[in-house]
Structure 1
């Protein structure tokens, strides 16, 4: 197996190779570190690399396999961690100059689960400042670029994680999703990204109490996504909203001949580019070919869905960011300052209205889902914005002005409906080379349903990174 094939080897296959002795964790890690050294600066996916620590951990995993010891679920698998969740003793910058030397004293629950499962933590991945944008650039770390076309963004806010996976720099990567921050980069980079239902994956306060917030996995295959989600999930003593009991998602393929799937191309209120529309309809056609009954539905949603997300995000998240305006305003990126200032202009009336709008949205979505097994829509309304996108410059889709932070995202309604599981999977590529994605949305807390459909769809389409022709041209 070549070094490039190692770099893109699925975690499930790597674990099998570790067990039978045909591959060692050190060989896998070294191939990825060599690739980062060769082309990593072109992509800018990492804020920190922990090469020495990772090599030591890989060697220990190698010894466990050689001795025939009991191995853990992710023993020896390289994992990149978003530079937002905490690892005790390591700097977590949140993509901000304010925290550039801030060493964490605790470890976030999902990172604790990953470390305890034997993951080799190889580094930290870039984010926009405070993870408050759907693109990834910051004053601290610069611009992170899409491996498929470096003129475009990876998406955000888990953009470094997505770039690292698409470029073959890591085997698995973590993300978090407060408005689409796992699914946005999954779509833009041609990956699988999973937003679990609220409470499934634990987090620390205050964001553990924010029902828009969902830590979760990014991967190059559905099976790898399930593997990582099964490790990340489960209750934690520091998170009172974390769900009991822990569930295990099976690698169980759905029989689509028995499934009814609803879909909407534009959610009733979004401008959607022709590239995204075409690829979404192609994906829906494949699902029909597989035997599913696929029905277009009208959710009755309007642009007020954007208002709901904008006002809610201002309440907890925006207030948290705004606390730095007075003391560190000159250190903030422009988009961060704008977000913080807009949050200060809102109050409890807007927060209350966001909850009323959430109820109205679920008032149509919930009853509709009683007649369907899943709902599908695009993940993004256009393949991606530019790598150095500045919202202050505005944005158009189909010649129409859209709100530049949320207008091109089709993810935020399912943070509003936070108990619905959502997986984003690739739907194709645009002429620019940038991938597009679809979201598969399930009934509340029905994780298995959406991931089983995703497994069946992936099997029909073929492994998204399974050959040179299906990987970005780099190096």
Structure 2
């Protein structure tokens, strides 16, 4: 196989070849590092790299497979880790000049599980500062670009993760989602991105107690997303919010013939780009071809839903960032500083109002999901923002008209952080004319993770996996 073919192998397929001794972890890691050498200057998806250490660990994994020793669920795979979580003794910057010299003193729970299962952290993936944007650039690391069209962002805040997977410089990779930060980049880069229900996967304090916040996988295939999700999931003794018992997802499912699928093109209030609408309708036809009934539904949601979600984010997330303003305000990006200032102004009464709205939203979504297996809607109302977009001063237009909320008014993800116990997966729906991918979200009943994966797997099987051939990959 060529380097490119190796780098775009599904992670699950690479593991099968490792076990059959038809591929070595060393071969895959060498190809991945060479691929990074070719693409990093263009895409800029990595912050820190650990290539020498990764090669040493690949040799150890190779020896395990050669000797028939017990191997972990991710043994020998190059795993990109978002540069916001921690690995003891390694740098973590959170995309900020404030933490450019920080060395972690502990390992985050999900990273510990990945390392225990033999995943090799060859690189850390870029984020916007403190992960508080739906695009990826920072003063510390510069602009991360979308491999499908370098003029656009790969999304955020897990943008470096998505760009790496799309470029073929990680086999599998991690993300986190507090307002769409897994699903937005999945949509922008033609990937599978999973926001598990709150409590399914552990996180670091204090955001393990923020029910909008979810750690989860990004991958090039549904099976790969399941592979990483099964490693990340389960109760953890340091995270009181994690659920018992551990949920292990299957990798094969029954057909969805006879399913009832609800869909909403705009969730009641979003303005949606015409190309996104076209690709969403085509995706719905795939579900119909599989024997599912598809019906449009009215959630009864208004822009109050987005306003309440933003209020929640500003009150907890923004207030957290605001603690840095007095000492480090001059080092912050424009967007992080603006977000922090909003956090300073947030009041408890506003936060309580956001909880009231979440309950009102679920009072219509919950009954719909009792009547339907899943809900489908676009992931993002636009294909992607410009790579250097700045929510503190820029306002995107959709179908020629400016939107009201420049922060996340174009992302159709945030309402489902308010609906945090619902599992949501984003899968590709097509491409826009500018080459940037688009995506759809599949939303399930509370804690019914397998349902959204069953629908996603059926869809992917019918459509065929993205990235499976040269013509389905970015031209870099």
With normalisation by structure 2, the TM-score equals: 0.99
- Alignment correspondent of 1:233: 233
**CA distance in 2: counterparts of 1:254 and 1:239, whole angstroms:** 34
SS in 2 for 1:439: strand
Other-structure match for 1:193: 193
The question of 1:217 aligning with 2:213 is answered no
- Cα separation, 2, equivalents of 1:366 and 1:63: 51
- The 1-side partners of 2:454 and 2:432 are apart by 26
Checking the alignment, whether the CA contact within 8 Å between 1:280 and 1:378 is kept in structure 2 is: yes
The 8 Å contact of residues 14 and 23 in structure 1, kept in 2 or not, is answered as yes
The equivalent of 1:372 in structure 2 is 372
Aligned counterpart, 1:203: 203
Shift of the alpha carbon at 1:356?
0.3
Spell out the pairing of 1:62-461 with structure 2 (5 A cutoff).
Answer: 62-391=62-391, 392-402=393-403, 403-461=405-463
SS of the aligned residue for 2:152 comes to: strand
Q: Is the 2:58–2:76 Cα contact (8 Å) retained in structure 1?
A: yes
SS at match of 2:150: strand
Secondary structure of residue in 2 paired with 1:428: strand
Do the aligned residues in 2 keep the contact of 1:254 with 1:453 (CA within 8 Å)?
A: no
Higher mean Cα deviation, 254-263 or 406-415? 254-263
Q: Give the SS at the match of 1:256.
A: coil
The RMSD of aligned alpha carbons is 0.7
Query: CA separation in 1, counterparts of 2:106 and 2:314?
Result: 26
Query: Unmatched 5+ residue regions in structure 1?
Result: none
d(CA) in 1 for partners of 2:52, 2:190: 30
Q: Structure 2: how far apart are the matches of 1:292 and 1:101?
A: 53
- Please give the alpha-carbon distance, in whole angstroms, between the structure 1 residues aligned to 2:321 and 2:283: 38
TM-fit CA distance, 1:185: 0.2
Deviation of the 1:232 alpha carbon: 0.6
CA distance in 2, matches of 1:230, 1:309: 29
Q: Answer yes or no: is the 8 Å Cα contact 2:256–2:454 preserved in 1.
A: no
Separation in structure 2 between the aligned mates of residue 411 and residue 285 of structure 1, nearest angstrom: 22
How far apart in 1 are the matches of 2:248 and 2:266?
33
CA shift, 1:253, in A, is 2.6
Residues in 2 aligned to 1:312 and 1:463: alpha-carbon distance in whole angstroms = 37
Post-superposition shift, 1:211? 0.2
Q: Secondary structure at the match of 2:160?
A: helix
CA contact (8 A) 2:258 2:292 kept: yes
CA–CA separation in structure 1 for the residues paired with 2:423 and 2:127: 23
SS in 1 for 2:33: helix
Distance across 2 between alignment mates of 1:308 and 1:201: 25
CA separation in 2, counterparts of 1:225 and 1:285? 24
8 Å contact from structure 1 (residues 42, 145) kept in 2: yes
SS in 1 for 2:261: strand
Contact 2:316 2:343 in 1 (8 A): no
Secondary structure of the residue that 1:62 maps to in structure 2?
helix
- Residue 399 of structure 1 and its aligned partner are, at CA, apart by 2.3
Distance 2:317 2:415 in 1: 16
Which residue is 1:462 aligned to? Answer: 464
**Runs ≥4 residues deviating over 3 A:** none
Q: Residue 114 of structure 1 contacts residue 231 of structure 1 at CA under 8 Å; is this kept in 2? A: yes
8 Å CA contact 1:194–1:217 kept in 2: the answer is yes
Counterparts in 2 of 1:50-65, with a 5 A limit?
50-65=50-65
Query: In structure 2, what is the Cα distance between the partners aligned to 1:105 and 1:373?
Result: 44
Q: CA deviation at 1:40?
A: 1.1
By how many angstroms is 1:398 displaced?
1.6
1:291 Cα deviation after fit: 0.7
Q: How much has 1:359 moved relative to structure 2? A: 0.4
